[in-house]
Amino acid sequence: MKTGQRRSDAAFYLGLLAEKQAKPAEAIGWYRQVNLGDFALRAQLRVAELLSRQGDTEEALNHLRDIRSNNAQLAPELLQAEADVLVAAGRADEALAIHDARVRANPNDADVLYARSLVREKLGNVKGAIRDLRAILKFAPDNGSALNALGYMLSNHSERYKEALRYVERALEQTPDQPAIIDSYGWILFKQGRLPEAAAALQRAYDLFPDPEIAAHLGEVLWVAGEQVEAREIWQAALKLEAKLGSEPNDVLQDTLQRFAPELAQ
């Protein structure tokens, strides 16, 4: 390994350490020095993410665009990151424009269609979001991400719970230990009124990955089942983890808190 790459790798790990220590400015400084090796792209994406979290949206976008202007081969990853920054800044309509152009260029790109479906849902175009996911399944019928997202979306925007469950069960067959899919499965069971099964599935998902959205779902099931103390403990743990990581408040968790424990909501 050449000296320059060793320095880049070291800077990347120092950036990770600074992030863990909640020192975003220091982390950005280290990441900007990573210009060689396998970590180069990841480091620059972290720069954009951290700038976005700090509210420096334009600087984050310019950073990504500057890299893209000199690295055309990285356009897919950089455009996705640009769209993510725009969504985080409340500019989902601009993110949608990016994805629309990407879909026109690559109509059978599952990753692009999936990304656009999420933005469409955020903008209230649920039919369009579902259409994108179904388009993926036409040429990739076993795409686990699309199956899971379609089932979850149907359960949240309709009462077609049996159909939703079928999609998620197909996704589970492929990756039975994927927390996000187990979460969707438990959530649909909850929508069907199957509380014990839902609680068991969501607890398993949470044990595998204590994500704020999974915590929101598990807490709601526990609350409805009469276990309010346990629900509060789950939600409070999720809030503490968000604070520790310096993450933005999770929308699903905040919505759940507003409905059941507004004193905990931010």
pLDDT band at 261 (very low <50, low <70, confident <90, very high): very high
Name residues whose C-beta falls within 8 Å of residue 231's C-beta, 6 or more positions apart in sequence: 218, 219, 220, 222, 223, 260, 261
Please say if the pLDDT value at position 245 is more than 70: yes
pLDDT of 139 reads 96
Please say if the pLDDT value at position 260 is more than 70: yes
State in Å, rounded, how far the first CA of the chain is from the last one. Answer: 47
pLDDT of 243 reads 85
Please say if the pLDDT value at position 150 is more than 60: yes
- pTM score: 0.89
Higher pLDDT, 200 or 5: 200
How does pLDDT run across 84-125, given as a tens digit for each residue? 999 999 999 999 999 999 999 999 999 999 999 999 999 999
Q: What is the CA radius of gyration of the chain?
A: 20
Q: Which residue has 């149907």 as its token pair?
A: 154
- The Cα 102–Cα 255 span in angstroms is 32
Please say if the pLDDT value at position 1 is more than 60: no
pLDDT of 2 reads 63
pLDDT band at 6 (very low <50, low <70, confident <90, very high): confident
Once rounded to an integer, what is the mean pLDDT over residues 248-264?
Answer: 93
Architecture of the domain defined by 1-71? Alpha Horseshoe (1.25)
Once rounded to an integer, what is the mean pLDDT over residues 169-195?
Answer: 97
Looking at the chain, the whole-number percentage of residues with pLDDT higher than 70 is 99
- CB atoms near residue 8 (< 10 Å): 20
